[in-house]
Amino acid sequence: MLTFSANSAIIVGAICFFGLFGCVIESPPESAETVTERLIPLLTDTQLDTRRTAALSLGKIGDPQGIPALVLALSDPDDQVRQSSAWALGTMADSLPDQAFVALVQHLTDPSDSVKQAVVLALGRTAVQKELIQV
């Protein structure tokens, strides 16, 4: 049985709020940047739900500032975090640098089917913006 501390529940709730804030409300650019700056360190939190929710929130906000941290999160030990990070990168397909594109391609061999599926979907979104590379 999973147990959560009150602190973890508050953090996950705040991350969900930030994600919805970025998704629903048309916020000024400096606001999205501030939220992104606060979410990035949470990608390395000790709690799985915090890392996963931070990745999803970064994808909903869509600030390219989060791309390098999401690329690193593709190597998280948990498949849910890797899947969420791949999905988030796919939402920013028009802003992905080549390094992020290559990182996604490298994760086509992830041991988790759900991660591979998220990577394929993310790459599908980037195919419109980038030429396919020879692997």
Q: Which two tokens stand for residue 127?
A: 């195919």
Q: What distances in angstroms separate CA 71 from CA 14, 84, 110, one per listed residue?
A: 23, 11, 14
The answer to whether residue 13 scores a pLDDT higher than 90 is: no
* CA 125 centroid distance within chain: 15
pLDDT tens-place string over residues 86-135: 999 999 998 899 999 999 999 999 999 999 999 999 999 886 555 555 45
Given 3.90.550.10, 1.25.10.10, 3.40.50.10190, 2.40.110.10, which CATH number is that of 6-126? 1.25.10.10
The more confidently predicted of residues 35 and 130 is 35
Please, what is the angle between helix 6-24 and helix 48-61, to 10°? Answer: 10
The answer to whether residue 22 scores a pLDDT higher than 80 is: no
* CA 117 centroid distance within chain: 15
